[in-house]
């Protein structure tokens, strides 16, 4: 599994009595939210699948509601600039945290493309499978089958969300984009019709906390990160920037397409960083 790690770690904030109360209250509300909404999603998916096949006109609204509600429960403020394109088939963004899943789904009804091992992660894998995440192996022998999955999902109207960095970071940088998956957008079946929308995500740590507060990288434990976020008060914020869509047909190879997407994401990310200075 590919991970980024510079060897450093932020200090773990001390959690006082009120912090643990917030963990209990917010964690309990999140649990209730998932316990109620996830079974509803699975139940609705049965007739939805029979009536609409791969198309999912109903269940993405449930996922979006859960993500918006989760951010509200955590008290994480989300600001959005730019417009999420309705006619974009694919979206690409930098990846800082497990929170990206909530932040991006709250802003736009999408389906994530994830490495196959995530499907086996306790809890997260179960939720990802239920919400329609597309799992892929980084194996050239499976490239043709995966290409067919992309085409089927895109033709069904799914907006597919990619993290081209291939891993999450400390939230203070954008890593070079891996170009392999961009080849899938330049096939004869997709190139003429596909548009990609770059997205920049930038987290702002709570006042007085390490700037890397929301980052999740290397071997960092998910449970500890979740508790830290649930306990935080005041909470921080996150900015989501939608850049103008890019037509795949304007590019003759995957490297140039990846470079154009990376430039847009990196530029937006750095502009937000400059505003912090």
Look at strands 90-93 and 160-162 and give their pairing: parallel
Predicted pLDDT at 89: 87
pLDDT above 80: residue 121: no
Q: Tell me what pLDDT residue 87 has.
A: 80
- Rounded average pLDDT over 124-141: 80
Res 277 pLDDT > 60: no
Enumerate the H helices of 80-191 as residue ranges: 99-107, 124-130, 143-155
Q: Which residue has the higher pLDDT, 153 or 67?
A: 67
For the segment 25-53, what is each residue's pLDDT rounded down to a tens digit? 999 999 999 999 999 999 999 999 999 99
93 or 137, higher pLDDT: 93
Confidence band, pLDDT 50/70/90 cuts, at residue 275: low
Residue of 273, 272, 170 lying closest to 225 (CA atoms):
170
- Do the beta carbons of residue 170 and residue 7 sit within 8 Å? no
Arithmetic mean of pLDDT, 82-109: 92
Q: Return d(Cα 68, Cα 65) in angstroms, integer.
A: 5
Per-residue pLDDT, 139? 67
Question: pLDDT by residue (tens digit) across 106-115?
Answer: 999 999 998 8
For residue 3, the model assigns a pLDDT of: 81
Helix, strand, coil share (%) of the chain residues, nearest 5: 50, 15, 40
Two tokens, residue 2: 């590919």
Give the pLDDT mean for 117-137: 82
pLDDT tier, 249 (very low <50, low <70, confident <90, very high otherwise): very high
pLDDT per residue as tens digits for the range 176-197 = 999 988 988 888 888 888 899 9
What is the rounded CA–CA span in Å between residue 155 and residue 149?
10
Please give the helix or strand (H or E) that residue 267 lies within, else none: helix 254-276
What is residue 122's predicted lDDT score, i.e. its pLDDT? 72
Q: Residue 116: which pLDDT band, with cuts at 50, 70 and 90?
A: confident
What is the pLDDT confidence band of residue 211, given thresholds at 50, 70 and 90?
A: very high
Task: Give the DSSP H or E segment for 41.
Answer: helix 17-52
HSE-CB of 171 using CA atoms within 13 angstroms: 23
Specify the DSSP element, H or E, that contains 93. Answer: strand 90-93
pLDDT at 137 over 60: yes
Q: What is the pLDDT of residue 2?
A: 66
């Amino acid at each position: 599994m590919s991970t980024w790690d510079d060897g450093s770690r932020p200090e773990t904030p001390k959690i006082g009595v009120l912090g643990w109360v917030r963990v209990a209250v917010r964690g309990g509300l999140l649990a209730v939210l998932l316990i109620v909404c996830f079974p509803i999603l699975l139940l609705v998916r049965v007739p939805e699948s029979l009536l609409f096949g791969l198309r999912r006109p109903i269940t993405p609204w449930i996922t979006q509601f859960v993500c918006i509600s989760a951010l509200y429960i955590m008290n994480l403020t989300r600001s959005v600039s730019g417009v999420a394109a309705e006619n974009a088939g694919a979206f690409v963004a930098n990846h800082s945290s497990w929170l990206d899943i909530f932040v991006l789904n709250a802003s736009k009804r999408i389906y994530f493309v994830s490495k196959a091992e995530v499907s086996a992660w306790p809890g997260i894998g179960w939720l990802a499978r239920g919400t329609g995440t597309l799992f892929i192996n980084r194996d050239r022998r499976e490239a043709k089958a995966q290409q067919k999955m992309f085409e089927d999902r895109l033709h069904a109207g799914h907006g597919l969300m990619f993290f081209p960095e291939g891993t999450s970071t400390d939230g203070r940088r954008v890593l070079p984009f891996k170009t392999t998956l961009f080849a899938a957008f330049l096939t004869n079946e997709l190139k003429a019709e596909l548009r990609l929308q770059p997205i920049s995500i930038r987290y702002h740590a709570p006042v007085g906390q390490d700037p890397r507060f929301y980052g999740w990288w290397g071997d960092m434990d998910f449970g500890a990160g979740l508790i830290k976020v649930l306990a935080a008060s005041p909470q921080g914020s996150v900015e989501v920037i939608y850049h103008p869509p890019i037509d795949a047909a304007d590019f003759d190879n995957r490297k140039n397409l990846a470079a154009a997407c990376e430039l847009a994401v990196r530029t937006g990310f750095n502009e937000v960083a400059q505003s912090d200075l």
